[in-house]
Amino acid sequence: MIEHRPFRLWPRLRRWLYLVHRCLGVGGCLLFVLWFLTGLVMMYVRFPALSEAERLAGLPPLQLEGALLGPDEAWRAAGLAAFPLARLRLEMLATVDGGAEPVWRTADGGRPVTLSARDGRAIPVVDAARATAIARRFAGGTEVRYLETRERDQWTLPNANAFEALRPLHRFAVADGAGTELYVSAVNGEVVRDTNRHERGWTWLGTIPHYYTFAVLREQHTVWRQTVLWTAGLGMVAALTGITIGLLRLRLRRRYRNGAVTPHHGWMAWHHLAGLAGGLFVFTWVASGWVSMTPGGWLARKPPPPAALQAYAGERGEFPWSAEWLRRLQVEEGGGLREIEAWWFDGQPMLLLADGAGRRRSLLAGDGAAPMLGEAAIAAAARRLLPGAAIKRLQLLAEEDRYWYGRRQPVVLPVWRVEMDDAAATWLHIDPANGRLLASSDSDARLRRWLFNAAHSFDFPWLLDRRPAWDGLMWLLSALGLVVSASGVVAGWRRLRRRAARR
């Protein structure tokens, strides 16, 4: 007679739980050590990027003398079917002889368009000689040295969506003693990135290993993306199984020998107890990093379609533009203008002036008066953007809150927030000074704000405003995570050595 032994599920599950954690533990803890250390570096030095303030400061002062093409003439010369949705801005572009010419810049379907504001001539290519003059003017007259022209390198791969269409890039070394390098687009002459020796050095210890943004891997976008998703996913499994095992081995009442709550000693005891104290933080921190990659398109950003943005701008007429008015404007601004941006809103032609210090001023084209945009105009524009959707709430924010805040760049304040009653629960943030749509978010974007930004960076406005309280909290939690992961590496490595010795 054959004896049938009862199938006991829990012992088998527990055995697999231990096997999975041991298999993933050493590798996972090594990754945790890497991520926590590099994350501390990233708190203070981010990947090099050209800020808006740096871009404006590097532009030559606007020269508005003589006849200049107006916004309407510019977009017509570019062959655009309608007033462009992308930014249409007037600025100066350095020439080989040391001078500069005014140009209109915009984009058509992602394709950059640059036109001379004197005669409408298209500028489709900027060679190395002119790029050298542009880089020298941007560097304030400091001597620059041409290095190379190429599509991509280590410093122009991440965070580069904004200038993907502007490749290839000319690279220059600036003789400023700081090891500064500038990247100038060979398509339209824009300076798109700057780096210096300090940033590059610390980034090798921060962002590059943290996000695996090594050029050889980052160039293969799909491979890089899957690498991040899978390593973070396996790290989540390692952390979750570790928390479960830690709770199973913990004894608070019927304790182990000598009254201990853990059966382990030495590094393994550190790993057990620190894992119980900080395991949940480790798991949520890795999981939030995984969420940032929007797996399967989940919580991906969804900008408004072009047709909706055209409707948002409202009716358009002929954009007023005159040489006499420009001369008066230049006198009023004291010669410090760097850029003029033009657009339509609610049937009104708008201009946004920016100087070299980053100060901006909005006015109506033609008479120079300050725009008067009331609540009704903002509400009407929101309805044009999302026809058929009602407005649930419209409020003017005077200070930052949980959804409208800046970490490294200030946000526009005051700002209108319009909460729409559509299927996506869309929120609009609109500049009250000129009607510009600054941001739109749906319920997915706001959920992502909590699952990634809050869980990964603890970027709560009330905490960021109280630095170094934020720094102290991040250092404390990172130190706890390092104890968990480093002790796991040592304990796991010793276990592997013992098993190898027995064999």
The tens digit of pLDDT for each residue in 175-216 reads 999 999 999 999 999 999 999 999 999 999 999 999 999 999
Per-residue pLDDT for 4 more than 70? no
Bridge partners of 89, per DSSP, are 105, 341
User: In 70-120, which ranges are E strands?
Assistant: 88-94, 100-108, 111-116
User: CB-based burial of residue 361 (10 Å sphere; 0-12 exposed, 13-18 middle, 19+ buried)?
Assistant: middle
**What average pLDDT score do residues 155-177 get?**
89
The band of 291, judged by pLDDT with boundaries at 50, 70 and 90, is very high
**What average pLDDT score do residues 425-446 get?**
95
Task: Collapse the DSSP code of 56 into the 3-class scheme (helix H, G, I; strand E, B; otherwise coil) and give the result.
Answer: helix
φ, ψ of residue 344 in degrees (nearest 5) = -110, 145
The band of 3, judged by pLDDT with boundaries at 50, 70 and 90, is low
In sequence order, the 6+-apart residues with CB closer than 8 A to the CB of 109 are none
**pLDDT tens, 220-271?**
999 999 999 999 999 999 999 999 998 988 888 888 888 889 888 888 888 9
For the chain, how big is the Rg over CA atoms in Å? 28
Per-residue pLDDT for 7 more than 70? no
Per-residue pLDDT for 1 more than 50? no
Task: Collapse the DSSP code of 377 into the 3-class scheme (helix H, G, I; strand E, B; otherwise coil) and give the result.
Answer: helix
Per-residue pLDDT for 134 more than 90? yes
**437-441 vs 181-185, strand pairing mode:** unpaired
- Going by C-alpha positions, the residue among 156, 187, 188 that lies closest to residue 171 is 156
What is the DSSP track for 179-225?
A: --EEEEETTT--EEEEE-HHHHHHHTTTHHHHHT--HHHHTSHHHHH
**Domain residue ranges of the chain, discontinuous segments joined by +:** 16-44+215-298+474-497, 52-205, 306-441
Task: Collapse the DSSP code of 428 into the 3-class scheme (helix H, G, I; strand E, B; otherwise coil) and give the result.
Answer: strand
* Mean of pLDDT over the chain: 90
Nearest 5°: the CA angle 384, 386, 391 is 95
- Going by C-alpha positions, the residue among 85, 28, 56 that lies closest to residue 283 is 28
Which two structure tokens, joined as six digits, stand for 432? 């009250």
Return the DSSP state at 382: H
**pLDDT tens, 31-78?**
999 999 999 999 999 999 999 999 999 999 998 887 789 999 998 988
Report the run of H or E that residue 150 belongs to, with start and end: strand 144-150
**What average pLDDT score do residues 482-487 get?**
92
φ, ψ of residue 323 in degrees (nearest 5) = -65, -40
Q: State whether the Cα torsion 220-221-226-232 is positive or negative.
A: positive
Which two structure tokens, joined as six digits, stand for 371? 């725009």
pLDDT of residue 46: 92
